[in-house]
Amino acid sequence: MAVLCKPAIAVPEYVITQEDTLELARRLHKDHTQLKLVLRLIEHTGVLTRHLIQPIDKVLKHPGLDARSEVYEEESKARVPAVVRQALDQAELEARQIDLIVYVSCTGFMMPALTAWLINTLGFRSETRQMPIAQLGCAAGGAAINRAHDFCTAYPDANVLIVACEFCSLCYQPTDLGVGSLLSNGLFGDAVAATVVRGKGGKGVRLERNGSYLIPHTEDWISYAVRSTGFHFLLDKRVPGTMEPLAPALRAVAKEQQWDAGNLDFYLVHAGGPRILDDLSRFLEVPPEAFRFSRATLTEYGNIASAVILDALGRMFDEESSREGHRGLLAGFGPGITAEMSLGTWTSTSEASE
């Protein structure tokens, strides 16, 4: 069975606090007719700190899509390799033992994808398969885990590397003044994460089942408007309420495994905002403490898009509270509105060593 191993996470060195964000909003948008609402929404995100790949004065400038694309490529090549090496070390594998690289990012674009550069640079075999995922947004972390699971189901001896590289600050648009856009300016952060799914052996979450669900006719609730100035993030005010229709989908996937989604040992979900976690607690009938890993990610790093679920997983590893056979749910939510869900059982015993 495929095992999701301990992830590696890195956040950049430039830090912005919630108070910094509020002060910027007051200064830059002092004449905005809904400034009080924006400030209140930012305060209620629960995001205390975020990490950025550039100082805030550079983030606030828009040098053009060409320049931003150059920054994305430079920064990804500078920051991803160390995270990949750490993830491989933690999975006790070498680059040549990886059969597929799933690379997820919705905050920059390269062709060929960074996977080609990684293969040529870090010692992966030329036969390594590539799967870039660019258009699932925050759900892509869950999708990457699920596609890795599928691959290892088809090829039981295979190993898959997952890389999430999200530089949300490169999507800042100074002319976007809607409430949703201004809220996003106080919510998203930058991060790089990587993990390995081993077809055999490994310690971590043994993947049992996965599924996907799309809420009908919600395509325009989370989206990018792609313009000459880059990606313009669009966030509908109805998005925070999406857990009510998605909770039954989570329950349905668990039921297929003959599990009760409201009675599991761990929950690792995408923390798009505090209401997502609060509503899941209510609709799944689990205590708020069940989402402590996701909430910690949101508080310390903000919404780091597809990397959230990997960071939450890393926090569970670090807590060392999971025991053999503990059952859990992983889920990423994003544009569509799409949920990518998986079920797993904690294993501390490597099959390879038995």
Catalytic member of 106, 138, 152, 165: 138
d(CA 306, CA 93): 24
d(CA 205, CA 195): 12
Residue 306, number of CB atoms within 10 A of its CB: 31
Supply the angle between the helices 140-154 and 308-319 in degrees, to the nearest 10: 70
Q: Which two tokens stand for residue 135?
A: 């258009």
Amino acid at residue number 354 = E
Based on the residue annotation, tell me whether 138 is a catalytic residue of this protein.
yes
| Rounded (10°) CA dihedral 225, 116, 311, 73 | -50
- Selection from 56, 32, 334 nearest residue 189 by Cα: 56
Do residues 122 and 156 touch, judged by C-beta distance below 8 A? Answer: no
Residues forming the active site: 138
